[in-house]
């Protein structure tokens, strides 16, 4: 993986960028490397240790980002798991709990991840009418991310980045301790 986590001068996550962009920031003196990747990048002058986490030398001022309601955000919030049957996978759809014809809005509280089979079974009914039960009630995540929700969840999978990411209980990585 060649992505690099970029932190602001105050260690807030700013972005995840490509290796090419990260090396450019380093070469022009705008960023310092905090964590190196295990492998090197071949250059004309020999191997160059590849960065994994960069910190900007100056504070980048940016407005507080808004958590956008999108298909990818809903899928990430529900961890790509059908909220009716519990099936996990990448081939999921978005379902309106209260159908649009019944006044169901496009909001965090009314949209859930659903597998195709459950979406066809529920059709344009409410869960009660279709005799289906939601695994958990949908709700808006309680944080304002500096990274988008899908990017944040992907970044949580990188062990060398976890120390630099804020922890939100609803999206915490579940670790299983060996007995």
Picking from 9, 85, 74, 5, the residue whose alpha carbon sits closest to that of residue 37 is 5
pLDDT at 171: 64
pLDDT at 108: 94
Mean pLDDT over each residue of the chain, to the nearest integer: 85
Strands 3-7 and 46-56: parallel
Q: Domains in the chain, please, with CATH?
A: 3-63 (no CATH), 68-142 (1.10.30.50)
Assessment of whether the complete model's pTM goes beyond 0.85? no
* pLDDT tens-digit map of 6-19: 999 999 888 899 99
Say how far apart CA 13 and CA 29 lie, in whole Å.
19
Q: What is the mean pLDDT of residues 9-34?
A: 92
Q: How confident is the model at residue 144 (pLDDT cuts 50, 70, 90)?
A: low
Q: What is the mean pLDDT of residues 143-172?
A: 77
* pLDDT tens-digit map of 106-133: 999 999 999 999 999 999 999 999 999 9
Burial classification of residue 9, based on how many CB atoms lie within 10 Å of its CB (0-12 exposed, 13-18 middle, 19 or more buried)? middle
Phi and psi torsions of 153, nearest 5°? -65, -35
* pLDDT tens-digit map of 62-75: 877 777 899 988 99
Distances (CA, A) of 46 to 40, 42, 49, 88, 162: 9, 6, 10, 45, 30
The yes-or-no verdict on residue 31 having pLDDT over 70 is: yes
């Amino acid at each position: 993986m060649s992505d690099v986590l970029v932190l602001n001068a105050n260690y807030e996550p700013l972005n995840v960028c490509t290796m090419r962009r990260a090396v450019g920031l380093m070469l022009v003196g705008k960023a310092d490397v905090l964590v190196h990747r295990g492998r090197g990048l071949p250059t004309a002058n020999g191997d160059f240790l590849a960065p994994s986490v960069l910190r900007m030398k100056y504070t980048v001022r940016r407005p507080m980002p808004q958590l956008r309601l999108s298909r990818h955000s809903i899928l990430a919030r529900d961890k790509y798991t059908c909220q009716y049957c519990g099936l996990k996978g990448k081939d999921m759809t978005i379902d309106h709990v209260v159908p649009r014809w019944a006044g169901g809005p496009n909001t965090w509280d009314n949209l859930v991840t659903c597998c195709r089979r459950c979406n066809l079974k529920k059709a344009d009914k409410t869960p009660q009418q279709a005799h289906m039960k939601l695994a958990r009630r949908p709700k808006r995540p309680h944080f304002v991310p500096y990274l988008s929700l899908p990017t944040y969840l992907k970044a949580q999978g990188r062990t060398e980045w976890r120390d630099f990411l804020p922890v939100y209980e609803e999206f915490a990585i579940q670790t299983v301790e060996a007995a």
